[in-house]
């Protein structure tokens, strides 16, 4: 009997010990703090909605809002107002009872004074053609796609006098892609520009059937290129000396008329992606202040594919003069067209003017199309491209990045959207930029 009691005692103790050891082995549930906001740049007096993205089933939230009202909150998804211009930090600490984590985002919110970006350019007249032209016809050419055609020699036309038209395509989201097609430049020496615009093509970033295309469900405003002047020109010239003007650089008219149609068709998007390739990539910077004029408060993601503006000393100024496009460059920015012929400081100016804009370069290191236009060829182009990208990223680390591939390919957004740069496809990199939910960084081969 005593022996049975002894064995029972041992078994009970063993079970108790096992139970204790099991409790000791329990790992507290992990938790990771994270959050986002519905906007990151706002004018004084505006409100921001913050959204908790934390994982690990948090049960309590402790927010701190530098410069905000309220300055702190225990709500999961608070709304905060900001009344004084500045750049402010946001901190969130979350807990689930077993663990705690803190996420701090320095310089996360930018509050700007109630002022108008690009006002100097408007004063110089770049918006003078907005609201002036109306399409002669607008015809549905396939389900959801409308072609808007302009007629008459005194309005939007191609540089040889051919008819100009642009396209809109309805999407299923409330986001908008404005895409500017490319097609070459005309200079006083040579004219290597397309004479008729390329119609809307469903490839690459314009492909609505690609489930991995981040803009597949966006509404689209598509602007073909046929003006020969980077969508900036406002001039007519006699190219053969016979006394009759035969080149009609109506880039600013074509662009303005197209943007009017887009704004009338899609008046209130949640987000705008302004992208272009080749001459259209170059032209996104001409379009930016006009898009901002039409959409004063919308976030704009600018993507310049293979049109970064590297042309060599004197080359850029020659084109600007020939096209009569000087109004696009603020007179106060004497370095916007650099002595090296590059537009790096112009792009800095644009980012400084409008904190609600982010900007990207996509290019190959020795883009054969533009490298052929500068002294030193591919090696010189590569050196200047990397320098420009580094300068812009250093000046605006949260709002500028670049995707630069080894080689001499020209354009990617339509031609080769799945092209890999250091194991990152162009498509996935664009998605990281415009989704705003992940990490978006420069990638250079």
Tens of pLDDT along the chain (445 residues)? 444 333 343 334 343 344 444 445 555 679 999 999 999 998 888 899 999 999 999 999 999 999 999 999 999 999 999 988 899 999 999 999 999 999 999 999 999 876 789 999 999 999 999 999 999 999 999 999 999 999 988 999 999 999 999 999 999 999 999 999 999 999 999 999 999 999 999 999 999 999 999 999 999 999 999 999 999 999 999 999 999 999 999 999 999 999 999 999 999 999 999 999 999 999 999 999 999 999 999 999 999 999 999 998 999 999 999 999 999 999 999 999 999 999 999 999 999 999 999 999 999 999 999 999 999 999 999 999 999 999 999 999 999 999 999 999 999 999 999 999 999 999 999 999 999 777 899 999 9
Measured from the Cβ of residue 316, the count of other Cβ atoms closer than 10 Å reads 21
One DSSP character per residue, 336-369 reads: SS-TTS--HHHHHHHHHH-TTEEEEEEEETT-HH
- Token pair, residue 284, equals 């996104």
Please name the residue that has the structure tokens 């020939």. 322
- Token pair, residue 356, equals 């609600």
For 439, what's the count of Cα atoms within 13 Å in the CB-facing half-sphere? 4
Residue 25 has a pLDDT of: 53
- Token pair, residue 411, equals 């354009």
Residue 27 has a pLDDT of: 54
- Alpha carbon 325 to its chain's center: 23
Residue 8 has a pLDDT of: 41
Q: 100 - beta bridge partners?
A: 95
Whole-prediction pTM? 0.77
Q: Cβ distance 390 to 383 under 8 Å?
A: no
Query: Can you say whether the dihedral through the CA atoms of 240, 160, 226, 252 is positive or negative?
Result: positive
Q: What's the Cα-to-Cα distance from 176 to each of 42, 167, 362, rounded to whole Å?
A: 20, 13, 20
Element housing 60 (H / E): strand 60-65
DSSP summary character for residue 331: T
Q: Cβ distance 277 to 411 under 8 Å?
A: yes
Residue 285 has a pLDDT of: 99
Q: State the Cα–Cα distance between residues 85 and 108, nearest whole angstrom.
A: 13
Residue 439 has a pLDDT of: 87
Q: State the Cα–Cα distance between residues 288 and 332, nearest whole angstrom.
A: 18
Q: State the Cα–Cα distance between residues 358 and 399, nearest whole angstrom.
A: 5
Start-end of H helices in 266-330: 279-294, 315-323
E-strand spans in 67-200? 68-69, 72-73, 79-82, 86-95, 100-112, 137-142, 145-150, 164-169, 175-180
For 180, what's the count of Cα atoms within 13 Å in the CB-facing half-sphere? 37
Q: State the Cα–Cα distance between residues 309 and 13, nearest whole angstrom.
A: 80
Domains of the chain: 35-112 (2.60.40.10), 119-444 (3.40.50.1820)
Q: Cβ distance 149 to 246 under 8 Å?
A: no
């Amino acid at each position: 009997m005593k022996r049975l009691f002894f064995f029972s005692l041992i078994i009970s103790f063993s079970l108790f010990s096992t139970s204790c050891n099991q409790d000791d082995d329990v790992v507290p549930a992990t938790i990771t703090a994270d959050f986002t906001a519905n906007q990151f740049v706002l004018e004084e007096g505006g409100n921001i909605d913050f959204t908790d993205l934390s994982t690990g089933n948090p049960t309590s939230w402790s927010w701190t809002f530098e410069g905000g009202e309220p300055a702190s909150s225990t709500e999961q998804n608070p709304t905060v107002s900001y009344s004084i211009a500045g750049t402010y930090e946001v901190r969130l600490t979350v807990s689930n009872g077993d663990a705690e984590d803190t996420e701090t985002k320095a310089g996360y919110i930018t509050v700007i004074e109630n002022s108008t970006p690009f006002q100097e350019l408007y004063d110089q007249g770049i918006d003078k053609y907005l609201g002036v032209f109306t399409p002669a016809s607008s015809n549905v050419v396939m389900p959801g796609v409308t072609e808007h055609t302009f007629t008459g020699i005194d309005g939007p036309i191609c540089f040889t006098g051919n008819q100009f038209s642009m396209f809109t395509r309805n999407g299923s989201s409330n986001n908008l892609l404005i895409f500017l097609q490319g097609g070459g430049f005309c200079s006083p020496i040579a004219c290597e520009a397309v004479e008729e615009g390329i119609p809307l093509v469903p490839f690459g970033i314009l492909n609505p059937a690609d489930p991995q295309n981040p803009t597949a469900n966006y509404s689209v405003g598509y602007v073909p290129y046929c003006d020969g002047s980077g969508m900036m020109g406002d001039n007519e010239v006699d190219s053969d000396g016979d006394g009759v003007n035969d080149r009609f650089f109506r880039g600013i008219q074509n662009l303005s008329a197209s943007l009017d149609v887009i704004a009338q068709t899609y008046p209130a998007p949640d987000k705008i992606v302004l992208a272009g390739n080749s001459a259209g990539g170059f032209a996104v910077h001409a379009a930016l202040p006009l898009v901002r004029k039409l959409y004063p408060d919308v976030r704009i993601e600018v993507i310049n594919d293979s049109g970064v503006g590297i042309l060599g000393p004197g080359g850029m100024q020659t084109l600007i003069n020939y096209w009569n496009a000087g109004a696009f460059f603020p007179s106060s920015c004497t370095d916007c067209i650099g002595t090296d012929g590059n537009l790096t400081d112009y792009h800095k100016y644009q980012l400084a003017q409008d904190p609600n804009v982010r900007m990207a370069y996509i290019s190959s290191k020795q883009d054969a199309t533009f490298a052929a236009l500068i002294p030193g060829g591919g090696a010189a182009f590569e050196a200047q491209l990397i320098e420009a990208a580094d300068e812009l990223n250093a000046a605006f680390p949260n709002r500028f990045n670049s995707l630069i591939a080894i080689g001499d390919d020209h354009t990617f957004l339509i031609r080769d959207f799945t092209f890999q740069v250091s194991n990152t496809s162009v498509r996935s990199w664009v998605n990281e930029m415009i989704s705003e939910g992940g990490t978006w960084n420069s990638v250079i081969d």
